[in-house]
Amino acid sequence: MPGQKKLIERAYTTAEKLGIALWCEDEAGPYQTIPYPGASWQLVGHPARQPHEYFQEGTAKMLTLLHPKTGEVRVKGVTNTRNETLHGWLKTELQAILDTLPEPIPLLEAESNRAVWESWRAGLTVKPTLSAELPTLRLLLVLDNLIGHKNPAWLIWCFQQGILPVYTPVAGSWLNMAESVERILKRRAFDGQYPQNVATLITWLEATAQGWNAHPTPFLWGGKRCQRREAARERRLHRLGGSGAYTRHPLPRWFNNGDAHAN
């Protein structure tokens, strides 16, 4: 896990600076046709009321692509996330994304080009075999460590397009920033509402994503929260002279005669 975590953090902080696009992919749901709790604007003394009895009319899921640098999302509401549904949508959207990117730089020598691809898999103990011939690396795709994301036909298509999937470790889906935007979209779409059929679920999810894209918010990895954690860590640790060593507790100083502690 440490190798995968460091690799994803490196991708978040350096990929775009190196001219490699970075997107995150995730599937959220299932969302049910039930009343959702949440705040809403109502007249004083007339709160919104939701029925305590309702019919389950099916569920919907949300396929999500997030571009952290700009905050742009691409969303599709679906009733299942089988490979044919997921991969078909991903291929269409990723091809559209690639079409918007600058023209790839001239191809390096085959050995140097492969080294660029391998640099984004360094430290991994389990990794899919790359194709014999590789184009210029154009996009890193962060996605969860699921069996459907490792389908051979899907991986071959990605490699042919210059896309390298980067998988989160097991139980490490918190490293996927797409999960954060999915929570935001879900709250905005459903809080305080009662969608009564699957079509409504899908319509509200996709409409909410369109509204988000009108004024998207870029996503940063780490940010001020990470800086605060690092500052707290520095306060808890005590540096020692002579090397980069730390101790968790301050070491008492001794007087030259060794008879007492210094205050």
Grade residue 188 by pLDDT with cuts at 50, 70 and 90.
very high
Q: Residue 49 is part of a domain; what is its CATH number?
A: 3.30.420.10
Q: Quote the CA–CA distance of 49 and 52 in Å, as a whole number.
A: 9
Does 257 reside within a domain? no
- Does some domain include residue 197? yes
Note whether residue 263 is domain-resident: no
Q: Which domain holds residue 25?
A: 2-214
What is the overall mean pLDDT for the chain? 84
At 164 the three-state DSSP class reads strand
Encode 104-139: b = buried (16+ Cβ within 10 Å), e = exposed: eeeeeeeeebbeebeebeeeeeeebeeeeebebbbb
* 17 is a domain residue: yes
- Asked whether residue 71 is domain-assigned, the answer is yes
Assigned domain for 245 exists: no
Please indicate whether residue 228 or residue 192 has the higher confidence score (pLDDT): 192
Residue 223 lies in a domain: no
**What pLDDT, in 10s, does the model give residues 67-79?**
999 999 999 999 9
Evaluated on CA atoms 189, 210, 63, 201, the torsion sign reads: positive
- How many structural domains does the chain have? 1
Identify whether 238 is part of a domain: no
Mean pLDDT of 114-138: 84
**What are the tens digits of pLDDT across the range 34-84?**
888 877 778 888 877 777 767 777 899 999 999 999 999 999 999 999 999
